[in-house]
Amino acid sequence: MHFVNSKGLLSARNGMNIYRGCTHGCIYCDSRSDCYQMNHSFEDIEVKQNAPELLENALRRKRKKCMIGTGAMCDPYMHCEMQLGLTRRCLEIIDHYGFGLTVQTKSDRILRDLDLLKSINRKAKCVVQMTLTTWDEPLCRLIEPNVCTTQRRWEVLKIMEESGIPTVVWFSPVLPYINDTEENLLGILRLCFSANVKGIICFGIGTTLRQGDREYFYNALDRHFPGLKQKYIQQFGNSYECLSSQNKKLMDIFHTECERRGVMHDNDQIFEYLRHFPEKEYQLSLF
């Protein structure tokens, strides 16, 4: 990893990326794409060492409380976070100033900060977003090799539920010819329903591939699924969107089951929920 002093942290929509790059090794990661213009190896994590100071300055200037998001681009709970603690320091600042938080991760390292997540949720609102793609544990270890598996992530979701923290699951991406099966979908849905998740985000049964990401993904296919790269090239060429032939069937099941269980499954509705900052009556007494 290497350290930089960044000029800014929050995006126009109040998202922040404390780190750039990732060590989880997921074979499909879109963040590897050349369009994001990382001028360093993806595994050589760029650390915004002044992130807490930038965040505090930004929150002090805001006239109105809002939700602060993290994890949309690079996971805030990579291996280096346990050494550096920058995510935790930023959560402490969010908690101190009474803002809300949405955090997206694949890692059970988020449990280290459960005390802060609960405090933020009591004062404002905290939503934990967890990515689940693969019901089969050995397969999960192949395609998401350096992070905890789906079973452990489900356990994290259950802990959040027991702590009163709402959760949202990202069922994305789903890889054609690998985990685009009814068995995988139903397995993931069972986990989500048993953890009482608030909503499930799914953009379709498929994945996206761009320059930079595509090459890494194809190399992984050659290692773990010999011959599958040729199927991708034949079916998708250089397309950005690679939808499974099972897309319509599985999405019909997805929407039907979520509707039956009362779980949000419209992406726009879920994103609106994530952005919404609640005006709790007792907040005024805290500051």
Burial class (CB in 10 A: 0-12, 13-18, 19+), 25: middle
Q: Is the pLDDT of residue 284 over 90?
A: no
Report the share of the chain in percent with pLDDT over 90.
Answer: 96
Q: Is residue 242 part of a domain?
A: yes
CATH number for 80? 3.20.20.70
Q: What is the pLDDT of residue 58?
A: 98
Q: Is residue 153 part of a domain?
A: yes
Q: Which residues pair with 240 in a beta bridge?
A: none
Look up residue 110 and give its DSSP letter.
Answer: G
Q: Is the pLDDT of residue 285 over 70?
A: no
Q: Is residue 283 part of a domain?
A: no
Q: Is residue 282 part of a domain?
A: no
Indicate the residue type of 194: S
Number of domains forming the structure of the chain: 1
Q: Cα–Cα distances in Å, from 227 out to 63, 154, 223, 233, 278?
A: 56, 32, 10, 11, 51
Q: What is the pTM of this model?
A: 0.95
pLDDT tens-place string over residues 198-224 = 999 999 999 999 999 999 999 999 999
Q: Is the pLDDT of residue 1 over 80?
A: yes
Q: Is residue 287 part of a domain?
A: no
The mean pLDDT value for 59-69 works out to 97
Contact criterion met (CB below 8 Å) for 15 and 69: yes
What's the domain range around 202?
2-277
Q: Is residue 104 part of a domain?
A: yes
CA dist., res. 133 & res. 130, Å (int): 10
Closest by CA to 71, choosing from 138, 113, 142, 20, is 20
